[in-house]
Homo-oligomer: A and B are copies of this chain.
Amino acid sequence: MNRREFLAIAGFSVVGTGGRLARGNEKQAAKTLSNNHPMKRPKMLFFDVNETLLDLKAMKTSVAEALGGRADLLPLWFTTMLQYSLVATVGDHYDDFGAIGAAALMMVARNNQVTLSQEAARNAMLPMRSLPPHPDVASALADLKEAGFRMTTLTNSSQAAVDAQIENAGLTEMFEARLSVESVRRFKPLREVYNWASNKMGLMPGECMLVAAHGWDVAGALWVGWRAAFLSRPGAQRYPLAPEPEIAEPDLKPAAKRLIAMEE
């Protein structure tokens, strides 16, 4: 972890590349870090949506059906979708996340001798818009809101998809904004996506915290100087070559408890 990241994680606003402190001092930052317990609440929580808040089970069922029952191929399909969202990003050729998911599904099917039409691949993506929240999510979000936290989404889903997802999950009242990467036509964890999101909400990077069940998302947020909470849901792993997030909990309930315990 470099100095800039460590200061940002410790809750200090860092201005410019020289690491000048906007408030506090290095001694106090070091003390805060050594306790591994930043005292100040982040000014805004940015929630990843797929898998972090919503349970992908229904979509996994439809995708496994499209793959002729090969549920063992689901992690490969999801990883291929994420890989190609970044292929599109670095190639400057944006397509929406659902279209990339369908394309990834066709590639995995072809590699496993499963016949699948383009239409069937698209249809297998449809449950993505009506996923239920994980059981811990609704009450933990309500606790955070009650405690005064400001919250927004920041998702790789398209704007129309996240609007439908949050409404169908009954979480509309929880978020003051629903940010989608579609606004910048690039996918997380591109640095510009987080920078756009913090600017959009009028905040400095160190005032923002990402909450996500993806190692790559937490890595990207920490690398731009955001704070991060990692939810280690089944199948989620932190990226070993990224800094450690200040919060790592199995689901949102204990993560929310730790956030609420922080100084306002």
Contacts and interface: CB of A to CB of B under 8 A. Distances in A.
Contacts of A186: 90
B90 A220 contact: yes
Contacts of A127: none
Nearest to A242: B93
B83 A240 contact: no
A75 B108 CA distance: 10
Describe A's contact surface by its main secondary structure: helix
Contact of A107 (B84, B189, B239): B239
Contacts of A176: none
Interface size class of A (residues with CB under 8 A): 35 or more
Interface string A101-127: 001001100110000001000000000
A242 B235 CA distance: 30
Please state the number of chain copies in the assembly. 2
Contacts of A24: none
A235 B111 contact: yes
Contacts of A219: 87, 91, 93
A86 B216 CA distance: 10
A94 to B, nearest CB: 10
A44 interface: no
A263 interface: no
Interface string A150-187: 00000000000000000000000000000000000011
B90 A191 contact: yes
Interface of A: 72, 75-76, 79-80, 82-84, 86-93, 95, 99-100, 103, 106-107, 110-111, 118, 186-187, 189-191, 215-216, 219-220, 223, 235, 237, 239-242
- A-B interface, 3 closest residue pairs, ranked by CB to CB distance from nearest: A86-B86, A90-B190, A83-B83
Given A75-B111, A90-B187, A107-B239, 9 more contacts: A84-B216, A84-B239, A87-B189, A90-B90, A91-B190, A91-B219, A91-B220, A106-B237, A107-B240
